[in-house]
Amino acid sequence: MDTIAGPLRAHPASALAVGAPERAIAFDAQGPVSLARFLREVNGVAARLPAATRAINLCEDRYRFLVAFCAAAARGQTTLLPSSRAPAVIEQVRAAHPGAYCIAEDAGDGATPPHHYLLPGTLPQAESVLPWIDDNALVAVGFTSGSTGQPLATPKRWGSFRTSTAQNLVALAGLLAEAPGAMTPLVATVPPQHMYGMEMSVLLPLLGPLTVHSARPFFPGDIVRALGDAAAPPLLVTSPVHLRTLLQSGVALPPLAGIVCSTAPLPPELARAAEVRYRCEVRELFGSTETCVIARRRTAMENAWTPLPGVRLLPQPDGTAVHAAHLARPVVLADLVELHPDDRFTLRGRHADQLEIAGKRASLGDLTRQLLALPGVVDGVVLQLDGHDDGGVRRIAALVVAPGLDEASILQALRGQCDPVFLPRRLRCVERLPRNDTGKLPRQALLDLLQG
């Protein structure tokens, strides 16, 4: 370990955080938290963690998540990032990683669940030294959301995180403060356990000129308050679901440095409405748990994506192979792309989303967009069921949130928007869709809801 006051030097490992001791790594309504204090708390917690190789970080407070992640890394422990905090999901992760324990906040009820380490209300502190992490260290394992099937584990090494974070800073160029030493405040509505939240609200404050709000605001009023805690116009990191909710709420936001959106396709009309309402650029990022962020676009003005530096895409019959400097080997995504002469690309949906019925073609994504465009529809999704009808065709179904409308009126409206062969054979109106913390829809949860 080296003191944070010393200059960086050639080293087989890399610093866990960058910047001067006094720079703010986090903030909230009480003010900023300096890098020096953060490191004291990281080292204080690291000395008290159980002896283990893997930890499941369940902290909802983003600053405490940041402290726990860095403390585990300093101890040589891998942080597991489950796609959900549901007890059944946590137990599945623990079963797949014997010996793993959970790090969580102390609920104040005096109880400590089995296999848990609870962070105390006042975090312990130790000498303010800067941990160095081997670039080959396995610091995290991310899990996919299960929106297309069972969650898959994806290992992440420190060197890969450092390289992808440098690319993400390029992806955010023009939205961050440019003055030397200036820190851009960041408020995120997505959980740090999700890879997008990990990249934007954990790694960027550690390795870039950003300071992150400790909360994870969910409701519009909470988002407004968190944004108001920033000392300068903040960057809002969010999802299409949260952005739509903000616009529908009508709340006024303070001046923003920009809005960053990911986790699901962002409709262009939603991006344009947000840019007009909040008077800033909305920048959409494209990536996955397996690849991290690999491209960006200004969705209100362009359809094509610009790959980040060092990213190269190779279309395949069943998807796209992603080559990038931060990937140890190419990763094949299910997304179909069309490459342009200027190296940009357009998404053409996923191979599994492509429909062909009676010689006609469509995609589940396009059908869902047509459903969401209907007046009175608040939320909805079109999906393909696993079974086949008598003609060997997999049936199409839909779940819709549309207060005041019934199934018959929605189907009648859809008849004017899409070919009759692609009309949902099963359509059910529900109070809300089973979206997870990032707004995604796990397939099994949708199937369960369709069956009542």
List the CATH number of the domain containing 177. 3.40.50.12780
How far apart are alpha carbons 148 and 28 in whole angstroms? 36
Identify whether residues 135 and 246 lie together within a single domain: yes
Instruction: Return the percentage of the chain with pLDDT > 90, whole number.
Output: 64
How far apart are alpha carbons 441 and 289 in whole angstroms? 15
How far apart are alpha carbons 310 and 160 in whole angstroms? 13
Q: Which range, of 85-99, 270-284, 301-315, 320-334, averages the lowest pLDDT?
A: 85-99
151 in any annotated domain: yes
Identify whether residues 271 and 330 lie together within a single domain: yes
CATH of the domain at 403: 3.30.300.30
40 in any annotated domain: yes
Identify whether residues 49 and 191 lie together within a single domain: yes
**Which of 412, 397, 408, 400 minimizes the C-alpha distance to 376?**
400
Contact assessment for residue 199 and residue 163, using Cβ atoms and an 8 Å cutoff:
no
pLDDT at 28: 97
Q: In which band, very low, low, confident or very high, does the pLDDT at 360 lie, cut at 50, 70 and 90? A: low
202 in any annotated domain: yes
Rounded to 10 degrees, the C-alpha dihedral 332/334/336/339 comes to -20
Residue 92 has pLDDT above 90, yes or no: no
Reading the block at residue 67, the tokens are 């402290």
Residue 3 has pLDDT above 80, yes or no: no
pLDDT in tens, 376-410: 998 889 888 876 555 556 788 999 999 989 999 99
353 in any annotated domain: no
48 in any annotated domain: yes
Identify whether residues 252 and 374 lie together within a single domain: no
98 in any annotated domain: yes
Contact assessment for residue 410 and residue 427, using Cβ atoms and an 8 Å cutoff:
yes
Residue 12 has pLDDT above 90, yes or no: no
Identify whether residues 134 and 196 lie together within a single domain: yes
How far apart are alpha carbons 201 and 26 in whole angstroms? 10
Boundaries of domain holding 381: 358-450
The 3-state DSSP class for residue 103 equals: strand
DSSP string covering 228-290: HT-SSPPEEEE-HHHHHHHHHHT------SEEEE-SS---HHHHHHHHHHHTS-EEEEEEETT
How far apart are alpha carbons 68 and 45 in whole angstroms? 7
User: Strands 184-188 and 153-157: what pairing?
Assistant: unpaired
Tracing tokens 């199937």 back to the chain, one arrives at 447
Q: How many domains does the chain have?
A: 2
Contact assessment for residue 282 and residue 267, using Cβ atoms and an 8 Å cutoff:
no
316 in any annotated domain: yes
pLDDT at 387: 64
How far apart are alpha carbons 315 and 317 in whole angstroms? 7
Secondary element (H or E) of residue 83: none
> Between 145 and 309, where is the model more confident?
309
Q: In which band, very low, low, confident or very high, does the pLDDT at 2 lie, cut at 50, 70 and 90? A: very low
Q: Of 348, 366, 382, which marks where a domain is finished?
A: 348
Identify whether residues 56 and 143 lie together within a single domain: yes
Contact assessment for residue 75 and residue 43, using Cβ atoms and an 8 Å cutoff:
no
How far apart are alpha carbons 346 and 335 in whole angstroms? 10
How far apart are alpha carbons 225 and 187 in whole angstroms? 10
Mean of all residue pLDDT scores within the chain? 89
pLDDT in tens, 48-73: 999 999 999 999 999 999 999 999 99
pLDDT at 444: 85
pLDDT at 136: 94
Identify whether residues 409 and 367 lie together within a single domain: yes
**Which of 174, 249, 264 minimizes the C-alpha distance to 217?**
249
How far apart are alpha carbons 65 and 55 in whole angstroms? 12
Identify whether residues 288 and 380 lie together within a single domain: no
Identify whether residues 136 and 261 lie together within a single domain: yes
Identify whether residues 325 and 364 lie together within a single domain: no
Residue 294 has pLDDT above 90, yes or no: yes
Q: Of 348, 366, 394, which marks where a domain is finished?
A: 348
Identify whether residues 273 and 403 lie together within a single domain: no
Q: Of 348, 373, 400, which marks where a domain is finished?
A: 348
Identify whether residues 390 and 321 lie together within a single domain: no
> Between 96 and 421, where is the model more confident?
96
Residue 265 has pLDDT above 80, yes or no: yes
Question: Max Cα separation, the chain?
Answer: 72
